[in-house]
Amino acid sequence: MPEFTQIKLDKADGIATITLHRPEKMNAFTRTMMDELIAAVDDTDADDSVRAVIVTGHGDRAFCAGADLTPEGGGHVFSDPNPVDDLSDTRVRDGGGRLTLRLFNSQKPLIGACNGVAVGVGATMQLPFDIRLASDNARFGFVFARRGITPEAASSWFLPRLVGMQKALEWCMTGRIFDAAEALDAGLVRSVHPQGELMDVALGLAREIADNTSAVSVAMTRAMLWRLSATEHPMMAHRVDSRAIYRLSRSADAREGVASFLEKRAPQYPDKVSDNMPDFYPWWHEPDYR
């Protein structure tokens, strides 16, 4: 397992927990944190024992207070430190976007446990999570217009899909801070919980996935729902659905799923994400800009 300085990665009983850990800075985001979060997701993807990943922040005040406005080594807070004249150059990379694209490509389900303030990249990094929970003291803010910049982390793609265009525009154009109740009402989070119960709920969801589902089925389902819901016609989904159900219905996991149901016992799925994904996975083509 990699060594980390600004996050923690813990694994137990098939569940990994990634904790943003800069308590002196309310877990503010830095390039080091970006690199470590990407490395942590690389690690959990490669570990077949990990069935679900929870992402949270250290303490009871903040998930992530946004970008550290006093960055390591000085220089630009929000943009790549290397000046580039040609803005079509792929070296012009937003750090939050590099992170969310890696989260988007995770093969393991991601559960966010937002334990406090989440503004700027602290909010946008949560958008690729599959399930987002919040504590009752959580606060969110897409504050970019109040800093003279624009939304980042591919949030212009993610946010309208989660909460609709009107709410996404309102939150981003006003840049105001809003509470967990408003986030729940808009669909940004799945549920709101007392601070002391948040991690127990997140662990319960992760446990439900880990104990009852096929890792290959979940990885395929995650990729299909995120990608195919954005295509221009349902035929695109039908094509991938058809290939997926054909391949997976002949798998060892499918045999075990049927047998365990008929025998009224807990399943023991043998297939692994590292070895047993369908032969056409990944079916999409996207540039690797990492």
CA–CA gap between residue 63 and residue 115 (Å, rounded): 5
Average pLDDT over residues 243-257: 97
pLDDT digits (tens, 9 = 90+) for 170-217: 999 999 999 999 999 999 999 999 999 999 999 999 999 999 999 999
Predicted local distance difference test score (pLDDT) of residue 148: 94
Answer yes or no: is pLDDT of 290 > 60: no
Q: Which two tokens stand for residue 200?
A: 């127990």
Phi, psi of 35 (to 5 degrees): -60, -40
Answer yes or no: is pLDDT of 90 > 70: no
Predicted local distance difference test score (pLDDT) of residue 93: 80
Predicted local distance difference test score (pLDDT) of residue 84: 59
CA–CA gap between residue 138 and residue 135 (Å, rounded): 5
Average pLDDT over residues 97-108: 97
Average pLDDT over residues 140-150: 96
Beta-bridge partners for 64: 118
Q: Report pTM.
A: 0.93
Average pLDDT over residues 134-158: 96
Give one word for 74, left, alpha or beta, with left for phi > 0 and alpha for psi -120 to 50. Answer: left
Answer yes or no: is pLDDT of 98 > 60: yes
CA–CA gap between residue 101 and residue 122 (Å, rounded): 15
Predicted local distance difference test score (pLDDT) of residue 242: 97
Answer yes or no: is pLDDT of 28 > 90: yes
Average pLDDT over residues 257-280: 97
Beta-bridge partners for 20: 7, 57
The closest of 272, 190, 273, 281 to 244, measured between CA atoms, is 281
Segment holding 32, helix H or strand E: helix 31-46
Helix axes 31-46, 95-104, angle to 10 degrees: 10
Q: Using a pLDDT cut of 90, give the percent of the chain over it.
A: 87
Phi, psi of 30 (to 5 degrees): -135, 170
Predicted local distance difference test score (pLDDT) of residue 185: 98
pLDDT digits (tens, 9 = 90+) for 107-135: 999 999 999 999 999 999 999 999 999 99
